[in-house]
Amino acid sequence: MTVLSGELLPAAGTPASTADASGGAALEALLREWLIGYRAANTRAAYASDLQHWLAFLADAGVDPLAEARRLHTHAWLRAQEAAGAATATRARRLAAVSAFYAWLIAEEYTDRANPAAIDPKRKPRVNPHRTSTSGLSREQALALQADADADTGPQAARTAAIVALLLYTGIRVSELVGADVDQLGHDRGHRVLRFTAKGDEPHLVVLPPPVTRRLDAYLAGRTDLAGDRLPVPVGGAGARVRRPLVVTTSGRRLDRGAIWRLLRRLAKTAEIPVAMSPHVLRHTCATLARDAGARLEDIQDQLGHADARTTRRYDHGGARLDRAPAYTLAGYLT
């Protein structure tokens, strides 16, 4: 494994790695040069994962990604993902990542071949700008999930309660949660906040309401690695910024996304919630329930870190939206 700015990326010889998929170290070096241009570790990890999916597909087909990849292969890749049940948004995101990599290769004059992922817009996976396929939780289900998290047992019970509260009340992405550090907690104008680098390498801040801070403080208070008599160890050599993860494993290592997925699915099963549970379900739930509770759409957009209001509006399809239907406003005006 090779370290790139704190995160691990597969190196040559690793099964299903970018090096195996590329057929050599040259492509791996290009991938690293491209990824290092993105400031946020979460962004680099997401792009690396999407590129690995594409490169693994080409490796199985015996296609060189630099010398032989064509739009034909891109279409075949998209059809294979569709057949495997990949969501439209997932396919669109992966395609955008692959296209960005080849566009960079062309801009840096590493290749004079056409971008194989630059396909006809009409043939790209199209995400409905008005609807999302993610299922959110009802108010009752959200309360039941948090109650089950609070009732969890074992040495990590406090962590379970804090994780669910953070995802449910703030709507942060799972990558943002696992990438957050304790020193990113703070105060702003009397509010408890968490600062981090969000999707798109943008600095972001979310407010932590009392239901979150109460559970988070209880979890952090039980962390032996945060005790006052223990000095943190710098990461990355002398002079490097100390990084103490916000949520950790029993051994003190940064918790990974897979662990949170498994945790949420276990809790949903215990709470008898008939939803394919994931961290994004709680992000969706945060938005829809906040909107139903009367939060303004633009405030929800700010909290979720959406650059485009249309993305936020995809979550605005609960019962309260019908209550706000312009038809009622017009009916009241005309009567």
Count the Cβ atoms, other than its own, within 10 Å of residue 152: 17
Q: Respond yes or no: is residue 124 known to be catalytic.
A: no
Query: Has 199 been annotated as catalytic?
Result: yes
Choose the catalytic residue: 47, 169, 219, 315. Answer: 315
Would the CA dihedral through 299, 304, 309, 315 be positive or negative? negative
Q: Is 315 annotated as catalytic? A: yes
Could you say which of 32, 192, 195, 199 is catalytic?
Answer: 199
- Known active-site residue 328: no
Catalytic residue among 283, 291, 313, 314: 283
Residue 110: which residues within 8 A CB-CB, separation 6 or more? 30
Those residues whose C-beta lies under 8 Å from the C-beta of residue 227, and which sit 6 or more positions away, are: none
Identify the active-site residue in 53, 93, 94, 173. 173
Residues 6 or more apart from 11 whose CB is under 8 A from it? 1, 2, 17, 19, 28
The catalytic residue among 93, 244, 280, 314 is 280
Active site residue 130: no
The length of the chain in residues reads 335
Beta-strand runs (E) in the chain: 2-4, 7-9, 185-188, 191-198, 202-207
- Does the active-site annotation cover 191? no
Exactly one of 73, 94, 159, 306 is catalytic; which is it?
306
- Residues paired with 195 in a beta bridge: 205
> Collapsing DSSP states into helix, strand and coil, what is residue 207?
strand
| Residues designated catalytic | 173, 199, 280, 283, 306, 315
